[in-house]
Amino acid sequence: SFVMCEPPTPADRDAPSPATFTAQESLEKIPKLSLSEIRLGKYLGTGGFCDVYEIADFDVSVSRSSVPASASVPASALQGVDGGACLDANGAAVYALKRLRRDLSDEHLDRGASDLEKEALILSAVAHPSVVRMRGLAAGEAPRAAYALILDRLYDTLAERLGRWETRATSLVGCGLPWGKKKRLEKIDKLWSERIVVAYDIANALAFLHSKRIIYRDLKPDNMGFDARGNVKIFDFGLAREIPPSPPSAVHLLTAFTGSLRYMAPEVALGAPYSLSSDVYSFGVLFWQICSLEVPFSGYTLRQHKERVVWGDCRPRVGEGWPEEWRGVMAE
């Protein structure tokens, strides 16, 4: 069977509990390929410990005698997921490969392998339209290529989409002649609709994860992507963890200062025990950004952010014209 790397030797406060929502059983059902059967395409980006590449093709001609024993199925098994092609009808790549960076130190290699293992466990056990799908695992011989994740390919991030929305919004403000007002208002409504649908889909995915006792811990625009159809997907589950069965309001001792400070709940930044509500705080900040098309806490130095936001009660100013329901979500 496919063997995951051992976690780091120091006690991990974020280690999943023994009863991990049948994730181990789900992981065993995921197709396992050999890296030698995968031909990579263009480089897509780098995360904390991983590089991501487009998958250009699966080489089904590779002899099974030359691949690691942990690769339990041939590449053709994964190809069958979408009718045997790595490209969709429009010629766009279907899959991406996420693997550990080759330049990691031994210490970072252990941490990265542990995070990648936990990400694989979680993604193997969850299925939601707005969560990126893990299609398989890939095994290699070298320690730094022991395994990688095969994911659905995403094409842009929410951070990039926010920039384009801002450009469109700016072009629609205070422009046009009186007889073009109706068309301009229709475009403004369409832009608002696009943004609210994305926010709703993210909130729906987050609620689903919380129902599975999964805390995400790194909600931000850079970790939200869009597939070829334009559907938003939460990806990068390296910091996500399962929490023990408990009431939703129960707090847990998890690693402090996890995620991005701009979207981080104060209790996480302070190193206090925290709960699923820390993700809700992050969503509130993200939702504000989607509505305002402004960067939250822009211009704050690290010290100012700690004093005013983490230790204080400074929060983004909610738009006066926004619906009361939206204001309530952000206030919570």
The mean per-residue pLDDT over the stretch 178-184 comes to 73
* pLDDT exceeds 90 at position 331: no
Residues 168 and 124 in one domain: no
Residues 183 and 306 in one domain: yes
Domain edge (last residue) among 103, 118, 153:
153
Pick the more confident residue, 256 or 216.
216
* pLDDT exceeds 60 at position 4: no
Pick the more confident residue, 84 or 6.
84
Residues 171 and 118 in one domain: no
Pick the more confident residue, 226 or 247.
226
pLDDT at 199: 97
- Residue 67 domain-assigned (yes or no): yes
- Residue 6 domain-assigned (yes or no): no
- Among 78-87, 146-155, 320-329, the range scoring the smallest mean pLDDT is 78-87
pTM beyond 0.85: the answer is: no
- Residue 108 domain-assigned (yes or no): yes
Pick the more confident residue, 36 or 6.
36
CB 279 within 8 A of CB 207: no
CB 24 within 8 A of CB 64: no
| Amino acid of residue 175 | C
Number of domains in the chain: 2
Residues 182 and 305 in one domain: yes
Domain CATH number, residue 140: 3.30.200.20
- Residue 1 domain-assigned (yes or no): no
Domain edge (last residue) among 153, 186, 213:
153
- Residue 9 domain-assigned (yes or no): no
- Domain with 87 in it: 23-153
pLDDT at 327: 85
Residues 143 and 205 in one domain: no
* pLDDT exceeds 90 at position 70: no
Q: Measure the CA angle with vertex 149, ends 144 and 150; round to 5°.
A: 135
Residues 245 and 326 in one domain: yes
Here the tokens at position 325 are 């329901």
Residues 163 and 100 in one domain: no
* Average pLDDT over the chain, rounded to an integer: 80
In this structure, the number of other CB atoms found within 10 A of the CB of residue 172 comes to: 15
- Residue 5 domain-assigned (yes or no): no
* Dist. CA 171–CA 44, nearest whole Å: 30
- Residue 13 domain-assigned (yes or no): no
Domain edge (last residue) among 110, 125, 153:
153
* pLDDT exceeds 50 at position 1: no
Percent of the chain past pLDDT 90, that is, above it, reads 40
For residue 225, what are the contacts with CB-CB under 8 A and spacing of at least 6? 132, 154, 155, 156, 157, 158, 232, 233, 235
Render pLDDT for 25-46 as a digit per residue (tens, 0 to 9): 777 778 888 888 888 999 999 8
Residues 171 and 288 in one domain: yes
Domain CATH number, residue 269: 1.10.510.10
* pLDDT exceeds 60 at position 197: yes
* pLDDT exceeds 90 at position 286: yes
Residues 241 and 269 in one domain: yes
β pairing state of 134-139 and 95-100: unpaired
Pick the more confident residue, 47 or 76.
47
- Residue 12 domain-assigned (yes or no): no
Residues 140 and 162 in one domain: no
